[in-house]
Amino acid sequence: MISKPIHEIRFADLNALMGNVAEGKTIEYKRDMPAGTRDEKVKFLAAVSSLANTAGGDLLIGVQAKNGMPVAVPGVVFANLDDEKLRLENLLADCIEPRIPRIEIEPVACASGAHTLVIRVHRSWLAPHRVKLNDKFYGRNSAGKYPLDVTELRSGFVLSESAAEKIRNFRNDRLMKIAAGETSIPLHDRPLMIIHVVPLSTFAGTQTIDPVASVMNGHVVPIPPGRFGDGNQPFVNLDGYATLAPSVDGKVHAYAQVFRSGALEGVRTVGEDANTRRHFIAAPTFEPQIVQVLENYLMFYKAIDAGLPLYIFLSFCGMSQCYFRPSTQPYSFVADDMGPLGTDIVALPEATIDTDPPDIPGAMRSTFNTFWNGFGYARSDKYNNKGEWIGG
């Protein structure tokens, strides 16, 4: 892989590979674009999927190689560069299963109007990926790509499944601790809305992050839910790095915690009616608030290059004392309040983000609908009849 961000790669970087960097585990060269024949498509798909299934890397189209060693960068002359990029993107989307979460394609200008396409394939934590045209799985080593054997396939499937199970166990463990008040950040005694975002990569191997360095170097600070534009306070603790709402009597109403594992937890207390002292969740605001804070959290993960997919969990604690207020004037009327529920902890179905750019409202639709179902509604009112987000 070329050791530069893909958008910074120039012809001089490609030229520096000549006679120096042979094909191997993280790089492959192709002289020409894949043609429309089945064999050409399979070769291209095998190269891309093998990178995703192993350590990631770059596929360079428009580089001539001899015995695996690059010797020239003639590039490819495209009648329409955008159309060719779209053709490759569609081929990858249609013919690799499951879909590879993160692939970047960047043209690099060469001589005489030609371009080399740099296809950067990030390591996939949804591996192994199968080429649908021939039903084969591919990996890579220093000699290049090869078909995965049964043992390697079994190991790949077990890794993904065990990582996903660890993530769900992490969520459940955190809910139990929050409900019992066993957190390092003291919270006011109210029902709570809890958001967990966890990259699969952080539980798929030995990868951990330095939360303080990640926040400081990533230039994106995770914000407590509903606290944008407010005076939040940074806080370093044993768990990692947190951002807190201002404390009152030593307790806070909201925080965002980045754990050393790489997981992120956002917590906020629900509303309280000034007249009745009733706790409630306001239907007009809570879903847009969640979408907003998830945009911030996903920007943080992109800044530190945590990779995809990301698991998202929405939960609530204290729901046996909390109402749902569907009114469009949430702080004035209580006649339409629904609930409370007969259970204290509500753990809604998980959502996943596996595309960049992400469709957060689309990913959260089933989760939001389930919450509304709990109070007797057919679906969330933040989506139209076509399932399109209209929530703001």
Q: pLDDT tens for residues 307-319? A: 888 999 999 999 9
Q: What is the mean pLDDT of residues 325-337?
A: 66
3-state secondary structure of 231: coil
Bridge partners, residue 240, by sequence: 237, 259
- Look at residue 160 and give its three-state secondary structure: helix
Least confident of 129-133, 180-184, 226-230, 277-281: 226-230
Taking residues 372-376, report their average pLDDT.
93
State residue 324's pLDDT score.
93
Residue 330 has pLDDT above 50, yes or no: no
Mean pLDDT of 155-173: 84
DSSP states of 76-114: B--S-HHHHHHHHHHHHHHHEESPPS-EEEEEEE-GGG-
**pLDDT value at position 171?**
95
Beta-strand pair 103-109/310-317 = unpaired
Q: Let me know if domain 6-148 sits in CATH 3.40.50.
A: no
Coil, helix or strand at residue 266: strand
The predicted structure's pLDDT at residue 328: 54
Q: What's the per-residue H, E or C state across 179-217?
A: HCCCCCCCECCCCEEEEEEEECHHHHCCCCCCHHHHHHH
Verdict on whether the full-model pTM lies above 0.85: no
Percent with pLDDT over 70 in the chain:
96
Average pLDDT value for residue range 161-171: 88
Where are the chain's structural domains? Answer: 6-148, 157-373
> Which band of pLDDT confidence, cut at 50, 70 and 90, is reported for residue 326?
confident
Window from 3-12, 41-50, 214-223 with minimum mean pLDDT: 214-223
Q: In b/e form, how buried is each residue of 285-314, taking b as 16+ CB within 10 angstroms?
A: ebbebbbebbebbbebbbebebbbbbbbbb
Backbone angles phi, psi at 234, to 5 degrees: -75, 150
> 43-75: per-residue pLDDT in tens?
999 999 999 999 899 999 999 999 999 999 999
Asked if 4 and 13 touch (Cβ cutoff 8 Å), the reply is: yes
Would you say residue 282 has pLDDT above 60?
Answer: yes
| 83-98: pLDDT as tens digits | 999 999 999 999 999 9
Within 10 Å of residue 51's Cβ, how many Cβ atoms?
31
Is 364:351 a contact under the CB 8 Å cutoff?
yes
pLDDT at 208: 63
Proportion of the chain above pLDDT 90, given as a percent: 66
Dihedral over alpha carbons 306, 361, 371, 199 (to 10 degrees): -10
Task: Read off the pLDDT band of 333 (50, 70, 90).
Answer: low
Give the integer Cα–Cα distance in Å for 48 and 33.
13
